Homo-oligomer: A and B are copies of this chain.
């Protein structure tokens, strides 16, 4: 069977439609792993991601896997068994951080809020003071609830208690303001399949000098490559594949042989960043802001109720309550079958109770927003919901006109 994927407009919480430029970039031929051309491409990729992360961190690289590979790389490389980790939880991906930290042997404390809210930064600060964690691990934007956690001032309490600060920016990077250096974030990881507009499978990652030093203090060069100069240091990192100490030496001047870099995915990651930087990072974020505002106005224009604390919503995704009496998945199926548009539902307590509609990457654009709203209007009406004719499209157009 030949794979001939049908047309899809992916307006869910991600993955979203990849930019055709990114897909084309992946069709470039391979070069060898240590070919100067390839190591030059690795350097170039580090450079563009420094700009996307707004950092000067030397230790900026790709982890070869989906976004959660980099989450795990960050956690397992920073946390030693028995370390205390604090996780503010405001959705599924906070639970994922708990899960990963526990598997890494951490003692995990959480600060939880009901889904649809963000965590009061004061509560996080208090918890840092109480628990004295080695690491504070926090999601920036949690797609399960659409919430975006304020992070700009968290560094102060972390610095006060010598805690490292890790941020999962998978869903937020390039669609929302994120300032690695200004916010003094120690490690930030992402993925391509959200606002960066690429396929999943490569995970941009950056580490502050402090975090890189912490990781390097646990450097164990692997069996079969270790030289006499490679005295093992500190507690061995539990994973070889996700060992940032070794990965940094592969991405650094030593070019330590580790895995074989996923070359086509590197081409994709590089092109994702280039597209953002050509538009300008501020402009890309602003485009996401406007598209998100238009979609928000649009779903309200259709009479739908928006889920959660809208003041803290990510730009790039909105969750709406499924109206009484409507089968959430039937509407999603009709959107897909009749209009080739994908929208999402959510997890756990929100499964079947909300739809999540994304406006990210190449799909954070007017025609995608209006088309989705027009289709949704028709499908909702078919499913017995009284929707104002044109209410969604008109409201969204007003945002674009403003």
Contacts and interface: CB of A to CB of B under 8 A. Distances in A.
Interface of A: 1-8, 10, 12, 14-18, 20, 23-33, 35, 37, 41, 44, 64-69, 71-72, 76, 91-96, 98-100, 102-104, 144, 191, 193, 199-202, 222-225, 236-242, 257-265, 267-268, 270-271, 274, 336, 342, 347-348
A33 B15 contact: yes
Contacts of A16: 30
A223 B103 contact: no
Contact of A8 (B32, B100, B144): B32
B199 A201 contact: no
B18 A260 contact: no
Nearest to A194: B260
A26 B26 contact: yes
Q: Tell me which of A25, A200, A240, A241 has the highest count of chain B C-beta atoms within 10 A of its own C-beta.
A: A241
Contacts of A64: 65-66, 69, 200-201
Given A96-B223, A239-B239, A5 B37 contact: yes
Nearest to A23: B27
Interface SS, A side: loop
B28 A5 contact: yes
Given A239-B239, A242-B241, A95 B224 contact: yes
CB-CB nearest 9 A-B residue pairs: A95-B224, A201-B262, A95-B223, A92-B224, A199-B264, A99-B223, A66-B259, A200-B260, A32-B342
Contact of A193 (B67, B104, B260): B260
A30 to B, nearest CB: 5
Contact of A240 (B4, B103, B259): B103
B264 A268 contact: yes
A244 to B, nearest CB: 14
Given A32-B10, A103-B236, A222-B99, A200 B261 contact: yes
24 contacts: A1-B274, A3-B267, A6-B37, A14-B260, A15-B263, A18-B30, A20-B29, A24-B27, A27-B27, A65-B259, A68-B240, A68-B258, A69-B241, A95-B222, A96-B222, A103-B236, A103-B239, A191-B260, A199-B263, A199-B264, A200-B262, A224-B348, A238-B239, A264-B264
Contact of A201 (B33, B102, B264): B264
A102 B17 CA distance: 41
B6 A223 contact: no
Given A15-B30, A65-B65, A69-B64, A35 B8 contact: yes
A105 B264 CA distance: 33
B32 A270 contact: no
A265 B263 contact: no
A261 B14 CA distance: 11
Given A10-B32, A99-B240, A238-B239, 13 more contacts: A8-B35, A15-B30, A16-B30, A64-B65, A64-B200, A68-B258, A68-B259, A72-B239, A91-B224, A92-B224, A103-B236, A103-B238, A224-B348
A221 to B, nearest CB: 10
